[in-house]
Chain A
Amino acid sequence: METGKPLTDLSYLRNLTGGASDKMSKYIRMFLSGTPVSLQQMEMYHLNKDWSGLRQSAHALKPQLGYFGAKGTESIVKEIERMADEQSDLEKIPQYLENFRKQYEIIEAELEISLKELGN
């Protein structure tokens, strides 16, 4: 992982909302409250070898990461979705989940700062 370079980029969100800070804050809050739940679900599905559940959770989360410009993290989740769907490279999933968790911690910190900047 590169250091110093932010994982998120809010330009798409800014463009979509026309820069409306209330809307941007709302979406950031929704993302921050929903993603830890999805991550926990994905870990649980992995433990239970519920590949369909894991695929579904990863699939649902993927576009949201894109909206926040977290392209690198989106590709990790995309890969988890693929592995669960094809039930291949299953031994790699824990590493990918770990990477996702680590990246999410950074994303969360970045978005918290953005929330403060937006002032809502």
Chain B
Amino acid sequence: MADRTLVYIVDDEPMQRDMLKDHLSKMSNYEIHDFPTGEECLAAAKVRVPNVVFLDYNLNSQVRDAMDGIDVLKELKEIYPEMEVVMISGQDRIEVAVNTMKYGAFDYIVKGEGSFLRAEKAMFNIYRYHRLQGSANRYKKLMTFFGIGMLLMVLLVIYLQSQGLINTPSWY
């Protein structure tokens, strides 16, 4: 992830947006921008791709024909698969949570008194996940180089033996 994590918050409720923005700003040096609709978030993401998006599930309480959260999630994950999206909803129905995970959401938070702490925890989990993923990728690369190195060494020995430049060990 970039040095300064870019976070977008999408919620049609201004107070909800402000509270989450204030809370996350207090936690770390995030660069946070907020949007009342998914359409505005998608337009902003075309200019600057955020690392994390907190996305409300229901986005049409103010603008009735606004895109809903699931459609925004699908579009974001299709265009930017590396971006992490945390869905937020007032619904604590399991099928809603499962649905968001199916489309690639990193986490699902139910709006309410514990939601700001959950958002903070989600940021920490995303950070940890990306750090682990980075380590796993480095380890994978290292193992690939090691494998290639071993293969080259074996090929070199076979070549040198075939040219009579080195002897086959007596025990072989």
Contacts and interface: CB of A to CB of B under 8 A. Distances in A.
A30 B14 contact: yes
B18 A56 contact: no
Contacts of A67: 15, 19, 113
B19 A16 contact: yes
Interface in B1-35: 12-16, 18-19, 22-23, 26
A63 B58 contact: no
B54 to A, nearest CB: 14
B34 to A, nearest CB: 13
Contacts of B12: 60
Interface residues of B, number: 21
Contacts, number: 47
A27 B15 CA distance: 6
A66 interface: yes
A26 B19 CA distance: 10
Q: Pick the most buried of A12, A31, A63, A64: most chain B CB atoms within 10 A of its CB.
A: A63
A26 B13 CA distance: 14
Interface string A1-36: 000000000001000111000010011001100100
A16 B18 contact: no
B63 to A, nearest CB: 11
Interface in A20-59: 23, 26-27, 30-31, 34, 53, 56-57, 59
Interface string B99-136: 00000000000011101100000000000000000000
B149 interface: no
5 contacts: A12-B113, A30-B18, A34-B13, A53-B64, A62-B90
Interface of B: 12-16, 18-19, 22-23, 26, 58, 60-61, 64, 90-91, 111-113, 115-116
